[in-house]
């Protein structure tokens, strides 16, 4: 029997409209002497980072009960619908340094102390000393998708001279950033640049028809068992084509949402968040990327959360508003509502025997605990998704010993299938994840 390579494809052209490739199932002709198969890929692993600036109000963030089935706190109430996919890590802290904003931002996202470039006014200018978590994941997934990673932004940077730590989220290393895309129309063009008419024409025609001659030739060269497998495989493709023709697939080119300029000086936050979330979810469903980051609001964010009545920047309100800081509280609730929209879109997008949220691991965090006093203790960490079964979801884990935040970050990375032995360096270095969160 003639041996075939692990990744053998049948390739053809649909009337000159575009090249197509049809993968094959595991055949006897692809097996080694031990019977190990190398055929179809499993549902892919994915890692995401969702970041919001200026922290939370811990007394209204941390759930009252621990373990599985945590009861949403006032600030986590918007996540009720996806609670079973979201785990809360509380009681941990940044160990790498204590400088306002800078230490928490770099400490949680790299497990390292910030890299200081200089000083300005009464503070410092800093950048990341190493790659951010999304880039660690991107390196692991590199070569599996058209886009190594995607970086999107929602509320824009409003200016400070304290370095890339404040302006950007995704870093490859010191002063080497991956800027977030803030234009939905540009993101759409980047992701779905093929003219829609061409895609429609491709969808109308069968990829099997394009390679049918090769199908018949292949069936004549393999054994009886392989012929049965091929018949079953091609029948499943035909069924999938029929589903696609009926418009039931999640991976379809969306309309360009356009852009959302300020209206009377106000950012259109909800519209921008929905557009970016919709585009990103479609990109994930189409397997255009397996690593992404969402910068909802930068560190020390100057966003004016006007939908909750704010008239000044969130950063300033965190310092100026008297306790119990109702506007700050409402801004956190509003932010979690925007996060909920993204997570619910993932949950509602079917894939295999589950959904996109089942097959993802997403780290959600800020750069400090409480903007009022720049605290790094009881740091806000969420780990969303079930990581293809590696994560339980729906658990509140509270550290009683002020554990390193790096434990939670390593848990999220391992949840995405990264075979990491450790995360961080020096005071941020850890080798163990949080077992209570793992499946």
What pLDDT, in 10s, does the model give residues 346-394? 999 999 889 999 999 999 999 999 999 999 999 999 999 999 999 999 9
Same domain, 229 and 167: no
Q: Which CATH number characterizes residue 144's domain?
A: 3.40.720
DSSP output for 378-408: S--EEEES-GGGTB--SEEEE-SS--BHHHH
Same domain, 77 and 147: yes
Residue holding tokens 């969306």? 254
DSSP code of residue 83 = G
Distance (Å, rounded) from C-alpha 80 to C-alpha 97? Answer: 34
Q: Which of 20, 25, 31 is nearest to 8 (CA)?
A: 25
Same domain, 288 and 269: yes
Report the pLDDT value the prediction gives residue 201, as an integer from 0 to 100.
47
Same domain, 62 and 204: no
Note whether residue 215 is domain-resident: yes
Q: What are 293's strand-pairing partners?
A: 49, 151
What pLDDT, in 10s, does the model give residues 78-108? 999 999 999 999 999 999 999 999 999 999 9
Distance of CA 101 to the CA centre of its chain: 23
Same domain, 234 and 375: no
Of 60-74, 166-180, 184-198, 376-390, the least confident: 184-198
Query: Parallel, antiparallel, or unpaired for β 381-384 and 395-398?
Result: unpaired
Same domain, 372 and 305: yes
| Domain count within the chain | 2
Same domain, 349 and 401: yes
Same domain, 34 and 51: no
* Cα separation values, 196 from 151, 242, 256, 401, Å: 24, 20, 11, 55
Same domain, 66 and 114: yes
Same domain, 134 and 25: no
- Predicted TM-score of the model (pTM): 0.82
Same domain, 260 and 398: yes
The per-residue pLDDT of the chain, averaged, comes to 88
Residue 337 has pLDDT above 50, yes or no: yes
Residue 423 has pLDDT above 90, yes or no: yes
Report the pLDDT value the prediction gives residue 336, as an integer from 0 to 100.
99
| Mean pLDDT, rounded, for 331-335 | 98
Note whether residue 2 is domain-resident: no
Domain that holds residue 208: 9-41+196-245
Note whether residue 3 is domain-resident: no
Q: Which of 382, 319, 347 is nearest to 61 (CA)?
A: 382
């Amino acid at each position: 029997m003639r041996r075939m390579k692990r990744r053998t494809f049948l390739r053809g052209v649909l009337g000159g409209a575009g090249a197509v490739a049809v993968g094959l199932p595991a055949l006897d002709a692809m097996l080694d002497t031990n019977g190990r198969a190398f055929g179809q890929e499993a549902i892919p692993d994915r890692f995401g980072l969702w970041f919001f600036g200026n922290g939370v109000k811990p007394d209204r963030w941390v759930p009252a009960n621990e373990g599985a089935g945590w009861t949403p706190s006032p600030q986590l109430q918007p996540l009720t619908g996806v609670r079973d996919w979201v785990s809360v890590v509380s009681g941990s802290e940044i160990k790498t340094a204590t400088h306002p904003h800078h230490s928490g931002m770099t400490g949680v996202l790299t497990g390292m102390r910030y890299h200081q470039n200089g000083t300005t006014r009464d503070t410092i200018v800093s950048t990341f000393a190493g790659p951010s978590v999304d880039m660690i994941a991107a390196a692991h997934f590199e070569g599996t998708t058209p886009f190594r990673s995607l970086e999107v932004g929602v509320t824009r940077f409003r200016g400070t001279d304290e370095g890339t730590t404040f302006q950007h989220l995704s870093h490859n290393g010191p002063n080497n950033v991956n800027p977030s895309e803030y234009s939905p129309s540009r993101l759409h063009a980047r992701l779905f640049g093929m003219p829609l008419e061409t895609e429609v024409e491709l969808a109308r025609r069968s990829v099997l028809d394009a390679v049918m001659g090769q199908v018949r030739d292949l069936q004549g060269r393999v054994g009886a068992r392989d012929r049965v497998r091929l018949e079953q495989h091609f029948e499943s493709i035909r069924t999938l084509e029929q589903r696609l023709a009926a418009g039931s697939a999640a991976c379809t080119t969306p309309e360009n949402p356009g852009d959302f300029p300020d209206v009377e000086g106000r950012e259109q936050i909800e519209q921008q968040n929905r557009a970016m979330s919709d585009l990103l979810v479609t990109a994930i469903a189409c397997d255009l990327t397996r690593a992404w980051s969402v910068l909802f609001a930068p560190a020390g964010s100057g966003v004016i959360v006007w939908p909750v009545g704010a008239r000044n920047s969130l950063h300033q309100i965190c310092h100026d508003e008297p306790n119990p800081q109702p506007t700050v509280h409402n801004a956190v609730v509003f932010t979690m509502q925007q996060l909920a929209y993204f997570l619910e879109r993932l949950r509602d997008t079917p894939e295999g025997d589950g959904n996109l949220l089942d097959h993802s691991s997403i780290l959600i965090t800020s750069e400090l605990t409480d903007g009022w006093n720049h605290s790094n203790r009881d740091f806000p960490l969420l780990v969303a998704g079930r990581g293809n079964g590696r994560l339980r979801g729906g658990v509140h884990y509270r550290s009683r010993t002020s554990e390193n935040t790096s434990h939670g970050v390593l848990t999220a990375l391992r949840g995405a299938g990264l075979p990491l032995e450790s995360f961080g360096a020096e005071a941020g270095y850890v080798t163990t994840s949080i077992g209570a969160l793992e499946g």
